[in-house]
Chain A
């Protein structure tokens, strides 16, 4: 293990055909499975907004984003299954039975189109920031390669979110109010996406699966988004928010992590409905999978 860790510290990239230590293999598997599940659940949320998106262009974007997320999940599940901890089928069953997890931000209800914009603008940006940090120094080759493309595509989503947010910011009073309400709902979940402060002995950091501590990512996010939201004429739903006179940096209130822990155990405000919805989407698409399998067999 010492030798393996020295290899990782020297910037070594692990490939599937290498001799991979068990603990690393399991850690990287769990991390990719969580990412895959989150992309999958995110894709389903996006899908809900395809029929409801205002106008043809927004529908096209919602359609494309949904396809992006499901496509990312597809690639990630392929790499996760190849680590031979669980089959792809087992991962799907575990997710749909609520035995495994997905990111906190997909455990809340998306109430309005403004909520959907807040997700695109605030949540996608937080997810992108954490993916960029993983990519920078990721030691598992196949995962790093997928992240390269995921980041390029998520960057496009973020630009789209920013554009829609500005439209609301400079729109009518009703639009501005709608956006403010959405920001009130989504600010904290977005900030919490980075998770509580990293433990000094975090294996994910030690093995270069992650490259930056959660608190550093969270802080950078706050420094970027607080001024952006204030410039848009919005308020931030944090009475303790202040600018530190010493270093000029924005400081947010202490976060109570207990609700997040409960959410991550699939006990969040909308977890049960989300999982049930994913399960019915899976069951309703059963005939498609059956037909595709039959077509593939007929071809060979």
Chain B
């Protein structure tokens, strides 16, 4: 195993161990995401029929909000005992530290989405199984784009006093393209007759965003983490 992969693995394993012991982030983000979907379903589903494209929008709203919560809590945990400083002190590639934190957040968001997507299908009569593979890829690509920027910003803001306010202010404008692509691609799949071609177009756009965001984050993580 290369040094980069070893560091990524060590950090992911540590984050998962801590989360399994506390279940703090998973439970809060899961409850939050499920509550968002439930509340919207009561308001926007009339006689068992949801408004056009609303299911896709709500799915991505829930992903974005619960993702922000997960990002904030994950880095709050590192801030609480100043352990991020210990990570930065290690003779490890800083991009590997970033990648480890990113993967940990992706796993948590992925677990929430495993509940969220079927719930959307159930409450909004959305065809989540028909083009399941494509839907899964769309959600995964959108989550990666969102978390890639979010991990960088959350780490950057750790020492800022108003980090909880600043994180969404910085994160949402930057990830608007990801959210739009996610909503439009998902909406294409949630039509009575799913439009795979349109979804694939948005998926390729998301993949391009992901490449740009991940490369930029890996490139800038070291300088932004050294004051």
B is a partner of A:
no
Point out residues on A near B: beta carbons under 8 Å.
none
Question: Which positions in B face A, CB cutoff 8 Å?
Answer: none
